[in-house]
Amino acid sequence: MRFEGCGTAIVTPFRKDFSVDEENLRKLVRRQINGGVHFLVPCGTTGENPTLTHAEHLRVVEITIEEANGRVPVLAGAGGYNTAEVIGLARELEAMGVDGLLSVTPYYNKPTQEGLYQHYTAIAMATRLPIVLYNVPGRCGTNLEPATVARLARIENIVGLKEASGNIGQMAAVLNAVPDNFSVLAGDDSVALPLFALGGKGVISVAANEAPREMAQLCDCGLAGDFAGARAIHRKYLPLMEINFVESNPIPVKAAMSLMGLLEPVWRLPMVAPKAENLQKIRAVLESLEILERVNVAAASAAN
C-alpha cells in the first residue's frame, strides 16, 4: 500500500479529567473522512502520543480503524528510542489491522546513520506492514540523511518518508535518491506545495484537523499537477498553517479546535494551554478564514 495525498495527523481529544474522549475522537475521524482526506495518522506527535499509555495508544488506533471502516487507510504511529519496544508495538498494531506504520526516528539517544539504518531494518523485518519513516530533527535531535533513506528505500516494506526537517534542499536530495514509487510526504503543511513541485506525494497535515476539505483539495491539485489551484489554496490557508506553530504542536491546533467546538481545551502535561495573546491570534486567523462561521452554520444545520 502507498500513502499519498492528505493524511491527517489527528489530535487525541481528552476530557476534563484527562482521559481519552472516545466519543469526540469518533466524531473527529468521521469529520476527516467526510472532508475527503486520503488517510489518517493517529498517535503521532499531534496526537500527543508521548503521554498516552500503551493501552490508550492501542485504543486510539482501534477507534480510528473502527470509524474508518476501510474507507481510508490508517497509518498508525509506532516509533521510539527502544527498537525492541517499537517492534512489539508494531506487531500489536499489525494484529489490530492497521494499514501501515509511521515510525519516528529514535530520539534522545541520537543514533548514528548506521544505527538508524539498523533500527528501521529490524522493524521492517519484524512486520509485514508498510512503513513510512519519519524524520523530524528539530524534535528528535538526529537527522535521517538522504543516503540513509535511499538505503532504507530498498527494503520492500519501507514505502515512504515523512520529511519534517524543513530543509527543501534535503527533500530534493531525498527525491533524487529514492525510487519513483517511494512516497515522500511533507511533514509541514507550509512546504507541501513546493514538495509536490519536486515530486513529493502529499503531506501529513496538522491543518487538516481544522480544514480537512481544503487540505485534501490542495493535495488533489498537487497530485494532478494543478499548481495554480494548489497555490491558491496554499496562499489562503498559509496563515492557518503558520499559526498552528505559534507554540509547540499540538497546543495551537487543539486550541483552535476548541474554539470550533470540536473538543475540550485539554492537553496532558507537559503540554499546556497557549498564552492568552496567542489564543487571540489563533481566533483571529480562524475568523479571517471564516472557519468559525462555517462551523457554527454546520452545527446549527445539524441541530435542525
Q: At what angle do helices 22-34 and 54-68 cross, to 10 degrees?
A: 40
Which parts of the chain fold into alpha helices (H)? 22-34, 54-68, 83-96, 113-126, 137-140, 146-152, 168-177, 192-198, 212-224, 227-243, 251-259, 276-288, 291-303
Active-site residue flag, 254: no
Pairwise CA distance, residues 239 & 243, whole Å:
6
Strand order across the 202-205 sheet: 39-41, 5-9, 202-205, 183-186, 158-163, 131-135, 100-104, 75-77
Instruction: Give me the half-sphere count of Cα atoms (radius 13 Å) on the Cβ side of residue 28.
Output: 31
**Residue of 162, 201, 237, 254 with catalytic role:** 162
Q: Is 275 a catalytic residue?
A: no
Query: Which one from 117, 120, 134, 237 is the annotated catalytic residue?
Result: 134
For the annotated catalytic residues, the residue numbers are 134, 162
